[in-house]
Structure 1
Amino acid sequence: MNKRSTLGGGTLLALALLFIGLTILFNHALRGWRLDLTQNRLYTTAAGTDRILASIKEPINLYFYFSEKTAAQLPQLKTYGVRVREFVEELAARSGGRLRLHVIDPQPFSEEEDRASELGVRGTAVGASGTQFYFGLAGTNSTDGRAAIEFFDPNKEQFLEYDVVKLVYQLANPKKPVVAWLSSLPMGPGFDPQTGQMREPWVVYSEAQQLFELRPLEPTATRIEPDVNVLVLVHPKNLSPATQFAIDQYVLRGGHLLVFVDPLAQSDQSGAEAGNPMAAMGADKSSHLTALLSAWGVQFNPGEVVADRAHALSVTMRQGEPPVEHLGVLGLDKGSFTASDVITAGLSNVNVATAGYLEPVKDTKVHFEPLLQSSRDAQVLPAARFRMLFDPATLRDGFKPTGRRYTIAARISGNVHSAFPAGPPAGVTLPAGQSALKESARPLSLVVFADTDLLSDYLWVREQSFFGQRLAQAWASNGDLVQNALDNLAGSTDLISVRGRASFTRPFERVEKLRRAATDRFRAKEQELEQQLRETEDKLTALRSKGGKQSALILTPEQEQEIEHFQTEKLRIRKELRAVRAGLDADIKALGATLKIINIIVVPALFAVVALLLAAWRRRRRAAPANAPLR
């Protein structure tokens, strides 16, 4: 005998209450639990981000300004706005209450709009009416410090995490970073013995003074203070062992380093003699830092210059002469930059002159990441060919590209050993209780450029005098490049570890592939039909005009039949052309129809079949005991 069980209303109500109770319980018990199933881990923050959030000591207020109503008219910005808001909300949730997020939709002529402008978030006019669209982030800390991202550029989406975390880091650490600057080139203000006048500081040096606490270091310095965030070395030359040892120990302690070396520094005044310009041409103008660079896993040859035919700029050597391409003066474009690194991302062009190249030392264990590279139409030439160069055209003599891209700038990271394995050099005495480091206490954080001339004003700015004030107008991105490097290295190691990630916007790769294939397939047919159409029209025109105006009015039956045939052929070809053009999207439409069938019919049908099989299996299990023989 079969027994059928039924669920009463009370049982169903109990199950419903149990489901609601479990939902509420899991909502509280699993609060903060997240599972990121995206391919590029878009919702997983970097470990450095988590450490920066944990290090916040006092609450920080974040104000996310987003004109949501206006964004409805801008689909791309609306989608990206959702992405940014979700990411900022994620940071606030992970901060343990240290980040207080305020999402604001500023209305026109409102106090919120005035507050946004006050905090540094700018509006952008959109639409025919010029409505102000706000899409930025501002922050304040307990000491009235402020920082802002004035506008979230969708083109910099891969650096979203870095930009937001950098803002949080600056508010959590409001003190200006300390940058120690050691240069053998005359970059700062002072007296110029060549002109006999006071010289202005280089623009890149002046900008660094405004953004950081800049401490000039003499080339004879034997100590680098522990509060220095970044040490900058420009054209290090003839440094004493004591100075090199101080730099070595600073790096091993975890100090961040920005280095500019050069095989032929144009601003090096070595060998200069008043009234004898030829004396300086033969002088050694290369940087000397081989021992330290080798210990850091970097190889630099001070005797070779990168010549690049694809990026050569035209220069004028003497007044009155036409400009000529100089294979050693290069205008690097976006194809030369590493787009995934925050230092070079977003730059338009960078100019270098007589630059060298960098390579990782063989079997080194450091991570060597190129930042600037030449084209493949390049070759290295002896630096001696550039010292007394009167005609740049001669550089093309015997020029043979190697097909290799030469690295002009690189980021190096990892653990390294001391360049002084035997201990401090002679004459150096360590303070009591302090011992020399033999290897990295913290991973190396180093950025090296194989050119110092990119810092020179003549390669990237034009200077003008405006009512006695010096104004510099940039025509290349050299200054932005240096400031990006300083800004990045001035942060903590955790901030530097926050790198660019993949874009949130995913293209329809299969659709684009189908579109390209269809275009290639139908384009040939379209061209063939268009050629047939032109030939048919030409024949038709020739036939109608045959015999002159008078005879054209009287046509033989054969001519009339031929004209009718050509007109029919013309209509057929035009119809076939329309079909070919319509067929360009046929595969895409077929793919869309297939996906709709799978989503609407196939998937629900599979679930239904599985449910029916499961119900049948359960029914058999219940029926089995009832049908069992009685004993």
Structure 2
Amino acid sequence: MALNRKTLTGSALFILALLFVAVLLVSNALLRGARVDLTQNRLYTLSEGTRNILTKLDEPVNLYLYYSDKATQNLPQLRAYYQRVRELLEEMAARSNGNLRLSVIDPLPFSEEEDAAAGYGLQAVPIDANGEKAFFGLAGTNSTKGQAIIPFFRPDKEAFLEYDIAKLVHDLNTTKKPAIGLLSSLPLAAGFDPATRQMREPWAVYQELSQLFEVRALNAAQLKSIDKDIDVLIVVQPKDLSDDAQYALDQFVLRGGHLMVFVDPSAELDDSGADPQNPQAAMMADKSSDLPKLFKAWGVDYARDKVVLDRARALQISGPDGAPVRHPGILGLTKADLSRDDVITANLETINVSSAGYFELAKESTAKLVPLIQSSTDSATTGADRLKFMPDPATLLNGFAPTGTPFVVAGRLEGKFKTAFPERKDEGHLAEAKEANAILLVADTDVLSDRLWAQSTNFMGQRLLTAFANNGDLFINAVDNLTGDTDLISIRGRATSQRPFTKVEELKRSADIAMRSQEQKLQGELSETERKLTELQSAKSQDQQMVLSPEQKAELDKFMKRKVEIRKELREVRRRLDADIESLGTRLKFYNILLIPILLVLGALGFAAWKRRAA
């Protein structure tokens, strides 16, 4: 009987082992590639736009991640970010149906891999004082020998990591870039500056635009029609366009073309009236722009001589005396002023504008103006001429009377438009659009200038831009949207893997407030002591000026004693902060190292005891 029981037990264990192996094999086959993202911000879940781009891959794309593993042994932050980059690339490769092929390469010094990385254009960045360099970049190729790179993965750009990689893959899979027409009287592209007699850099928005699209510059003086293969037309600072040029824009919109217009009541970078021999000419020149016939036909009102002032969104600049002063005509529009319902502005945080105008729907207009960017309710308008010769920005608030309603600085004009030239009988003339269309209108051209949103630096011989506002994103988002490709828009600005200790930061802020209060108190007492010493000194005779009186000495001793006490109080505040942070760390270590494992062990023992009693 005992033998049979042992045999049955052994057979049962063998069968269970076979079932376990079978379950593993079946789950491995059925659940291959399955992943569960349990991170708070779903860092490893690809956004819909990225998945769409990967689904559209119709040919293999090879990605080569070059990372100097040995050289970065002592750089834990960079190594942690490398892990983040690699895991994201592996996730994208797993979701690409085999069309995205990832290779991870450690380019050792003087190796063929290092030569290959340099050949792609990747940058080896110095990482220590001894001149040690490291690679951390991505190169991509397609079947037609197309190449695209990310020269170096910067940890401070982690929020745009997924977008940057998706854009690289998107570019490699796009055989033909969309054609963008550009009609501008502002110097967006690189060229010769006659004022400085030097070559000027292109505006950052133009540089980004030319990387993503095929940009065709149009000549306003010769413009009579828009090529049919142009997907989007961008008009910047249109000044006194001829009827033929406006008619070309009119017919482009009526046939379904996508148009984006930037006008301005006072374009600060408009140098069309500049004369090196007469500096006053530039100051007096008209810097406004308008499309009067087209705006009227489209049912939109725009005042080319009015600027929006916003007391609540005024940015701080240097005043006439060098002291900081807020300029109600230079605005930092926040998330609350941007449309959350439109893909162009949904993920943006800050847009800076300067001497901006506004749009309104005309009476009896059949169109619809959907606001994208608005001023706050604490805003009003003023004449654009007031900003030309204004010595002090604060004077703009003289007589300021807010309307209580926001002004539309940028919007999407939607409708079924009619021609502004019903009298024209040109071949193929359209009197009315067959379908509804949308025109993007922006009442500021300075929004495109580098000075309002990006700081340029030279990084290893390459021009890098550090954005402090989302103006560039606004522009590219708009063009992406008008070309019909919204995949890249949806993946801009993801959360980062950095998880700051919010409780520790809160403790530090509290301590800083306490220390600042004590320091201000000390400074106040110091000022009061200096005042008393000065009064005592002025009461002394000429021959006693260099000798401290008993009253002065007593006052000085009193202050020095109080200074030591306040310094002691400051050290106590800092000591309590360190003690609080250390106590928090100790509790976290106890929870993670002891409490959780103990609870798991007790739970396992309790479950085993329950099973034993049940048997």
> Same fold judged by TM-score > 0.5?
yes
Corresponding residue for 1:64?
65
Q: Which amino acid aligns with 2:442?
A: V
Whole-angstrom CA distance in 2 between matches of 1:584 and 1:265: 51
Corresponding residue for 1:438?
435
Whole-angstrom CA distance in 2 between matches of 1:575 and 1:384: 57
Corresponding residue for 1:304?
306
**Residues 455-487 of structure 1: CA deviation (Å, up to 9, x unaligned):** 699x9999xxxxxxxxxx999989x96699359
Corresponding residue for 1:33?
34
Secondary structure of 2:435's aligned partner: coil
104-113 vs 429-438, greater mean Cα deviation:
429-438
Change (3 A) 1:610 1:177: same
Secondary structure of 2:382's aligned partner: strand
Corresponding residue for 2:414?
416
- 1:305, CA displacement in angstroms? 1.9
**Residues 384-441 of structure 1: CA deviation (Å, up to 9, x unaligned):** 435xx5564497265366799988975x67x933333x9995546796999934325x
Corresponding residue for 2:479?
489
Please state if 1:510 is matched with 2:507.
no
Change (3 A) 1:215 1:121: same
Q: Which amino acid aligns with 2:141?
A: T
Q: Which amino acid aligns with 1:304?
A: K
Change (3 A) 1:449 1:619: same
Secondary structure of 1:8's aligned partner: helix
Change (3 A) 1:313 1:358: farther
Change (3 A) 1:434 1:369: closer
Which sections of structure 1, spanning at least 5 residues, go unmatched? Answer: 317-321, 463-472, 532-570, 623-631
**Residues 95-127 of structure 1: CA deviation (Å, up to 9, x unaligned):** 112111111111111111111111011010112
Secondary structure of 1:65's aligned partner: strand
Change (3 A) 1:34 1:215: same
Secondary structure of 1:128's aligned partner: coil
The answer as to whether partners of 2:288 and 2:304 remain within 8 angstroms in 1 is no
- 1:294, CA displacement in angstroms? 11
Map 1:6-21 to 2 at 5 A: 8-21=9-22
Please state if 1:285 is matched with 2:288.
yes
Change (3 A) 1:423 1:303: closer
- Aligned mate of 1:451, from 440, 445, 453: 445
Change (3 A) 1:612 1:144: closer
Aligned residue pairs total: 540
Corresponding residue for 1:245?
250
Secondary structure of 1:245's aligned partner: helix
The answer as to whether partners of 2:293 and 2:420 remain within 8 angstroms in 1 is no
**Residues 209-267 of structure 1: CA deviation (Å, up to 9, x unaligned):** 975442415478565434324311022356757444334346x56x4x44321113464
Between the two proteins, what is the percent identity of the paired residues? 36
Corresponding residue for 1:235?
237
Whole-angstrom CA distance in 1 between matches of 2:233 and 2:57: 26
Please state if 1:396 is matched with 2:395.
yes
Q: Which amino acid aligns with 1:504?
A: S
The answer as to whether partners of 1:353 and 1:453 remain within 8 angstroms in 2 is yes
Change (3 A) 1:269 1:46: same
Whole-angstrom CA distance in 2 between matches of 1:166 and 1:416: 29
Secondary structure of 1:137's aligned partner: strand
Corresponding residue for 2:50?
49
Change (3 A) 1:109 1:199: closer
Secondary structure of 1:96's aligned partner: coil
Change (3 A) 1:312 1:86: same
Secondary structure of 2:153's aligned partner: coil
Q: Which amino acid aligns with 1:227?
A: D
Change (3 A) 1:290 1:375: farther
- Aligned mate of 1:595, from 585, 588, 592: 588
63-72 vs 200-209, greater mean Cα deviation:
200-209
The answer as to whether partners of 2:366 and 2:415 remain within 8 angstroms in 1 is no
Q: Which amino acid aligns with 2:416?
A: S
Q: Which amino acid aligns with 1:165?
A: A
The answer as to whether partners of 2:337 and 2:375 remain within 8 angstroms in 1 is no
Change (3 A) 1:185 1:483: same
Q: Which amino acid aligns with 1:245?
A: D
Change (3 A) 1:79 1:408: farther
The answer as to whether partners of 1:66 and 1:136 remain within 8 angstroms in 2 is yes
Change (3 A) 1:453 1:46: closer
**Residues 142-179 of structure 1: CA deviation (Å, up to 9, x unaligned):** 22221111011111111111111111111112445422
Please state if 1:165 is matched with 2:155.
no
Whole-angstrom CA distance in 2 between matches of 1:37 and 1:425: 61
Secondary structure of 2:415's aligned partner: coil
- 1:500, CA displacement in angstroms? 1.1
- 1:30, CA displacement in angstroms? 1.0
94-103 vs 481-490, greater mean Cα deviation:
481-490
212-221 vs 33-42, greater mean Cα deviation:
212-221
Whole-angstrom CA distance in 2 between matches of 1:125 and 1:379: 51
The answer as to whether partners of 2:315 and 2:332 remain within 8 angstroms in 1 is no
Change (3 A) 1:500 1:333: same
- 1:82, CA displacement in angstroms? 0.7
- 1:139, CA displacement in angstroms? 0.9
Whole-angstrom CA distance in 2 between matches of 1:366 and 1:81: 45
Secondary structure of 1:38's aligned partner: coil
The answer as to whether partners of 1:234 and 1:452 remain within 8 angstroms in 2 is no
Change (3 A) 1:343 1:607: closer
Which sections of structure 2, spanning at least 5 residues, go unmatched? Answer: 457-462, 525-563
Taking only aligned residues, the RMSD between alpha carbons, in angstroms, comes to: 6.1
Q: Which amino acid aligns with 1:416?
A: E
Secondary structure of 1:83's aligned partner: helix
Change (3 A) 1:120 1:22: same
Secondary structure of 2:133's aligned partner: strand
Corresponding residue for 2:119?
118
Q: Which amino acid aligns with 2:236?
A: V
Corresponding residue for 1:133?
134
**Residues 243-298 of structure 1: CA deviation (Å, up to 9, x unaligned):** 44334346x56x4x44321113464869x9x99x99995979332369669979x9
- TM-score, scaled relative to structure 2: 0.67
Q: Which amino acid aligns with 2:436?
A: E
Whole-angstrom CA distance in 1 between matches of 2:594 and 2:117: 50
The answer as to whether partners of 1:344 and 1:481 remain within 8 angstroms in 2 is no
Corresponding residue for 1:466?
none
Whole-angstrom CA distance in 2 between matches of 1:63 and 1:475: 25
Whole-angstrom CA distance in 1 between matches of 2:586 and 2:477: 51
Map 1:457-606 to 2 at 5 A: 485=475, 489=479, 492-517=485-510, 581-606=574-599
Secondary structure of 1:416's aligned partner: strand
- TM-score, scaled relative to structure 1: 0.65
The answer as to whether partners of 1:312 and 1:329 remain within 8 angstroms in 2 is no
Corresponding residue for 1:566?
none
Whole-angstrom CA distance in 2 between matches of 1:281 and 1:430: 42
Whole-angstrom CA distance in 2 between matches of 1:152 and 1:475: 14
Q: Which amino acid aligns with 1:516?
A: R
Map 1:241-280 to 2 at 5 A: 242-249=247-254, 252=256, 255=258, 257-265=259-267, 267=270
Whole-angstrom CA distance in 1 between matches of 2:443 and 2:287: 19
Change (3 A) 1:18 1:504: same
Whole-angstrom CA distance in 2 between matches of 1:123 and 1:401: 55
Q: Which amino acid aligns with 1:73?
A: N
Larger radius of gyration: 1
- 1:354, CA displacement in angstroms? 3.8
169-178 vs 393-402, greater mean Cα deviation:
393-402
The answer as to whether partners of 2:357 and 2:409 remain within 8 angstroms in 1 is no
70-79 vs 298-307, greater mean Cα deviation:
298-307
